[in-house]
Structure 1
Amino acid sequence: MKISPVVAQLRTWCPTFAQRVAGALQFDLARDSALLPMPAAYVVMTEDDPGENQVQNRTRQRIGDEFDVVVALATGDERGQSAADPLHDIRAELLRALVGWQPMAGYDPISYEGGSLVLIDRSRVLFRFGFRAEWTLGGGDVPETFAEVELAGLPPLAGVDIDLDAIDPMADPNLSNPGPDGRIETVLRVELDQGPP
């Protein structure tokens, strides 16, 4: 999942941050450099969680893309008491902005996965809120796997030829072998209409 749409959604729907929302692939990089003025939020991709393949003859697999919104708040005490109430309000803003929102075409709406404390010191509190959006690999209109790309490259099915070696319906299988005997009794040619050019 792309994180840019999530960043834009938070900038629009979370007024507490006053547009101070950024994305990162690893939060350690955002934590230690290029810090935004607080309060701020950082959207960080955390996990790509694939489920088991659901079918045997092709690929159909549910994948959960997980991300955190790490909130940075200024605090005046090492216990973080002054940040506890604002975190409650910020969580409400994040839930209104993200839960139930579809981040990209093909994704299910985002769900909330919980939160936890990341860091606390004399100057700031970092708290992470986890979110997840699922999508399905395979079976869509656009090829997503190698097998689907291969199948998409085949020419359209123009028709089917059938050579039938019939078993004698009157033969008693208890008395003799009813066939097939290797002789082609019927030939079928089926042409499929490809529709208008």
Structure 2
Amino acid sequence: MKPSDIVAHLRSHCPALGGSVQAGINWEAIEKATQWQGLYAFVVPTDDKAGDPLYDNTLVQEITEGLDVVVVFPQSDEPGRQVADEVPAMRKALCLALAGFTPPGSAGWLIYEGRSFLHTDRAKVAYAFSFSGLEVMGSAELPSDPAQAETWQEAELLGLQQLEGLDIDVDVIDPMVDKNLKPDGVGPDGRIEHHLKVNLPHDNPNPTPNPEP
């Protein structure tokens, strides 16, 4: 989930922010780099949490990825009476824009996780409104394009040469047992009765075996 996608969505669908939305890395960096005039919002990626693999033979994991929308309110009175009323309204505006929104490349919509207080001084108050979304790493079906690989398992398998064909020797166990080779009459006797050759041309999705004597 790219913060830039969330920024663009909020600029278009959250008029309460007035278009003053940017991406950031954390509150400390934001506070040092910004000169405060008016209302600001910053989309900050937070922790992610990976679940256990979904399958035994293919690496597919669900990842819950978090983000904070850090909203910095201008403060005109030191006790913050005005901002105290604006905070619940901002939560409603953010949830209207983000809760249920599926960011590009995500496997599920965003959900609201809660609010936390970050900072206050005479000029500003900052709160973080937290959201999370689900992404899936890997695929149950191998992608056709190596550029779409998301795990080493996929990249390694896509790097293998294509299977061009099979050569199969058939040693019939019973009743075609050569007692000169197996006096007890119990196969297999090590003699090849049939040979099968299967060609797998790339343009033939359903190859058929070609028996050979």
Q: Normalising by structure 1, what TM-score?
A: 0.84
8 Å Cα contact 2:168/2:196 also seen in 1: yes
Give the equivalent residue in structure 2 for 1:153: 159
| Shift in Å, 1:177 | 9.3
Residue identity matched to 1:163? D
Q: Distance in 2 between matches of 1:190 and 1:111?
A: 52
Distance 1:11 1:177, change over 3 A: farther
Identity of aligned residues (%): 37
Note the residue ranges of structure 1 that are not aligned, 5 or more in a row.
none
| Shift in Å, 1:21 | 1.0
Q: Kindly tell me the number of residue pairs found equivalent between the two proteins.
A: 192
Residue identity matched to 1:159? G
Q: Distance in 2 between matches of 1:177 and 1:70?
A: 82
Distance 1:24 1:192, change over 3 A: same
Distance 1:36 1:162, change over 3 A: farther
Distance 1:122 1:178, change over 3 A: farther
| Shift in Å, 1:180 | 4.0
Match of 1:182 among 190, 203, 209: 190
Give the equivalent residue in structure 1 for 2:32: 32
| Shift in Å, 1:179 | 4.5
Note the residue ranges of structure 2 that are not aligned, 5 or more in a row.
178-183, 205-213
SS at match of 1:190: strand
Range moving further from structure 2, 50-59 or 181-190: 181-190
**Of the two, which has the highest radius of gyration?**
2
Q: Distance in 1 between matches of 2:195 and 2:171?
A: 9
Give the equivalent residue in structure 1 for 2:208: none
| Shift in Å, 1:24 | 0.9
8 Å Cα contact 1:13/1:93 also seen in 2: no
Give the equivalent residue in structure 1 for 2:108: 108
Q: Which whole-Å deviations, capped at 9, do the CAs of 1:136-166 have from their partners, x for residues lacking one?
A: 1111632112221122122333322222334
Distance 1:126 1:169, change over 3 A: farther
| Shift in Å, 1:189 | 1.8
| Shift in Å, 1:119 | 1.9
Q: Distance in 2 between matches of 1:138 and 1:16?
A: 37
Q: Distance in 2 between matches of 1:162 and 1:36?
A: 75
Does residue 1:165 correspond to 2:171, yes or no?
A: yes
Q: Distance in 2 between matches of 1:129 and 1:54?
A: 30
Root mean square deviation, CA, Å: 2.6
| Shift in Å, 1:169 | 7.1
Range moving further from structure 2, 142-151 or 30-39: 30-39
SS at match of 1:7: helix
Q: Which whole-Å deviations, capped at 9, do the CAs of 1:73-124 have from their partners, x for residues lacking one?
A: 1234454332222111111111111122121124322121111112233332
| Shift in Å, 1:178 | 4.6
Give the equivalent residue in structure 2 for 1:9: 9
